[in-house]
Amino acid sequence: MKEIKEMVIGDNLIIVDGTTLKFPMSLVEVVAVFGEYTVAKGIASHTDWYKTTYVFHNYGILFSTDDYTLKNLKRNKAYIDDEHFIESITIYKNLSEKMISSKLNTVFEYPKSVCNIKIMINQYENKETIPSETSCRNNMIEIFPSYTTKVYILPPDNMEVEFDNEGQFIYPVVVSYSPKRPQSAENYKIKKLKEEELHFDNFNFKLAILQVLIYDLELLKPYFNIEDFSYQYTGSEIDLESEKPIKPAINFFKKLPIPKSLAEKVEEINMDGGNDIYMNITPQWDGEDGYFDINAISDLEISQFHNLKKVSIMSDKFDDMKKIFNSKNIEVE
């Protein structure tokens, strides 16, 4: 075990004794700096995401990812390759029972020793120099909330942030990479196609197809982003935190024509409450009201997709929909 003296947490990176690790990190890069580790896996609380944690016991540090990470990186244009998947770090300066917060119940294995590395956050190393740019959320203290790399201090419930005699944090420090998709120059003016377009009788089936063509395969333009769309929209201001479907977004997708030539590209549909198409229509949708369920589908619209072989659907009439898809030799989950 080599001695590590200092870790500087910056925006989009950490610097460990002069060695820079940029987000998103690969496990190979992390191991080159921190050495041996164990792996802990499980379902993250309040989600159905499968989380993987790499525990570096000698240094009291966890590096984490989940099965949504790569998709999120691709969506926000921060993807490098499938090996660069680490987007979160948790640092334990103290492992007493009091210090392990109940909020960290997504941790499946704690390190066997504490972190003795000097931690500096954006060059600030103690309580006298931590800036006032902080915010509180769910009893977490967020430092530099405007940065892409989020840094949270997690004191136990109803306790304030404390420091040791050297001004170092004594509670867990979480570093989370949260890239935002760069504002694009997409043109949201809908143009009439010069070729034949696909026909749809059921809007929710069209949305499932749009998810594949716009977001999964990136074959259909524009790559719809509700924030970018809101900048160009000339009607009433759009509520980007809406828990209800945004009508201008729905109207856009209803009017958006899909070239018939793209039908052959659709081989699989995976409907999920976290799909980009739904999050851009209802940013705060909880996925529980069935608004986007496919409960009807016509023979005409489904027959257009000759290469569609497998679907995972959301539906209140699952058995009925399964029969229809199966009749076209399409597997249903």
Per-residue pLDDT for 175 more than 80? yes
**Predicted local distance difference test score (pLDDT) of residue 168:** 62
> Do residues 156 and 216 share a domain?
no
Q: Per-residue confidence at 137, pLDDT binned at 50, 70, 90?
A: very low
Which of the four pLDDT bands, split at 50, 70 and 90, describes residue 134?
A: very low
Q: Does the pLDDT at position 80 exceed 60?
A: yes
Are 115 and 211 members of one domain?
no
Is a pLDDT exceeding 80 seen at residue 52? yes
Do residues 169 and 216 share a domain?
Answer: no
Look at residue 241 in the predicted model and tell me its pLDDT: 79
pLDDT value for 125:
45
Q: Provide the mean pLDDT of the chain.
A: 83
The 3-state DSSP class for residue 211 equals helix
Does 1 fall in a domain? no
CA dihedral sign of residues 201, 207, 213, 218 = positive
Question: Above pLDDT 90, what percent of the chain?
Answer: 51
The mean pLDDT of 84-107, rounded to a whole number, is 70
Is 190 part of any domain? no
Pair 132, 21 in one domain: yes
| Residue 148: pLDDT band with limits 50, 70, 90 | low
Host domain of residue 240: 203-332
Confidence band for 270, pLDDT divided at 50, 70 and 90: very high
Average pLDDT over residues 303-323: 95
- Residue 173 in this model has a pLDDT that exceeds 80: yes
pLDDT (average), residues 253-280: 95
Q: Is residue 198 part of a domain?
A: no
The reply to whether 165 and 232 lie within a common domain is: no
What pLDDT score does 319 carry?
95
Structure tokens at 267: 């081989």
The verdict on 167 and 228 lying in the same domain is no
Q: Kindly state whether residues 173 and 33 are assigned to the same domain.
A: yes
Bigger pLDDT: 265 or 163? 265
What per-residue confidence (pLDDT) applies to 127?
45
Two tokens, residue 223: 């790559």
> For tokens 């790559």, what's the residue?
223
Judge whether residue 57 has pLDDT over 90.
yes
For the segment 284-297, what is each residue's pLDDT rounded down to a tens digit?
A: 887 778 899 999 99
pLDDT reported for residue 331 = 96
**Buried residues in 267-305 as b, exposed as e (16+ CB within 10 A):** eebebeeebbbbbbbbbebebeeeebbbbebeeebbebb
* Tens-digit pLDDT profile for residues 212-252: 999 999 999 999 989 889 888 988 889 887 889 999 999 99
78 vs 259, more confident: 259
Question: Does a structural domain hold residue 58?
Answer: yes
Structurally, the chain folds into a number of domains equal to 2
Whether residues 116 and 222 fall in one domain: no
Tokens of 277: 């198409």
- The DSSP result for 258-307, as a single string, is -BGGGGGG--EEE--TT-HHHHTTSTT--S-S-TT------HHHHTT-TT
pLDDT at 260: 97
Q: Is the same domain home to 291 and 160? A: no
Mean pLDDT of 32-50: 80
The predicted structure's pLDDT at residue 322: 96
Residue 195 falls inside a structural domain? no
Tokens of 195: 């070729």
Is residue 132 over pLDDT 50?
A: no
Q: Average of pLDDT values for 39-54?
A: 75
Q: Are residues 166 and 254 in the same domain?
A: no
Distance between CA atoms of 252 and 17, rounded to whole angstroms? 51
For residue 183, being part of any structural domain is answered with: no
What is the share, in percent, of the chain residues with pLDDT greater than 70?
80
pLDDT value at residue 51? 85
Q: Do 129 and 233 belong to one domain? A: no
Q: Are residues 224 and 110 in the same domain?
A: no
- Who has greater pLDDT, 293 or 174? 293
